[in-house]
Amino acid sequence: DTAVSQTPKYLVTQMGNDKSIKCEQNLGHDTMYWYKQDSKKFLKIMFSYNNKELIINETVPNRFSPKSPDKAHLNLHINSLELGDSAVYFCASSQDRPRGYRYEQYFGPGTRLTVT
Amino acid sequence: AQKITQTQPGMFVQEKEAVTLDCTYDTSDPSYGLFWYKQPSSGEMIFLIYQGSYDQQNATEGRYSLNFQKARKSANLVISASQLGDSAMYFCAMRGHMNYGGSQGNLIFGKGTKLSVKP
């Protein structure tokens, strides 16, 4: 019973291509996130979706577009891939009702994207 | 703005000994949560322990405890009786109150500490 799943786990592609990463959570959580972990292991928020509405976009290039067909899914689509997009992308989810800060986030296994 | 600082890029500890991983934070939110995550070499992010800003007692979860000193804005992770399987990256993170001060609920991470347990 995987709580947060991502596909694919590895993605190797060439510059200029368009690719998508899929994320699904079966925890019934309200909010889903995308984080990027760079080569130095630094994790930074990219997007957050709460009940299918975008509530964060942290200075991410508009080549990145999150798509949430329903509360359990948050996919990440990337256009015109660049070398600098190579990283590990993590999907996460958390319960946020009642409103608060105390809920931990559950992370997916990550997708290692390599752009050549 | 919220910020997490982990000043130890790497640490070594002898198996069965205790180790403390440092974390300091900065926030203007009156309410916030502090989290520690473990990332082994396999890459997954594993939640370890949580401390709320208004919690009176330090959090404990098995061999993990959090030394929370609010006035000093520190939230150090203490691992007792280290095991070889504890070798991993450890991340301290903070989360502000949803929709308060612009934090929007996402986690702000420190740069991590790589812990190596020696047999």
CB atoms A48 and B98 under 8 Å? no
The pLDDT > 90 percentage for chain A reads: 68
CA-CA distances (angstroms) from residue B38 to A34, B6, B64, B79, B108? 18, 14, 11, 12, 15
The pLDDT > 70 percentage for chain A reads: 94
- Per-residue pLDDT, averaged over B36-55, amounts to 95
pLDDT in tens, B81-94: 999 999 999 999 99
φ, ψ for residue B84, nearest 5 deg: -60, -35
The answer to whether B90 faces chain A, any CB pair under 8 Å, is no
Q: In the A/B pair of chains, how many CB contacts fall below 8 A?
A: 69
The answer to whether B3 faces chain A, any CB pair under 8 Å, is no
pLDDT in tens, B50-81: 999 988 899 999 999 999 999 999 999 999 99
CB atoms B109 and A42 under 8 Å? yes
The answer to whether A107 faces chain B, any CB pair under 8 Å, is yes
Q: How confident is the model at residue A111 (pLDDT cuts 50, 70, 90)?
A: very high
Strands (E), B28-73: 32-39, 46-52, 60-61, 64-69
How many Å lie between the alpha carbon of B42 and the closest alpha carbon of chain A? 9
The answer to whether A105 faces chain B, any CB pair under 8 Å, is yes
Question: Does the pLDDT of residue A81 top 90, yes or no?
Answer: yes
Q: How far apart are CA B31 and CA A49, in angstroms?
A: 22
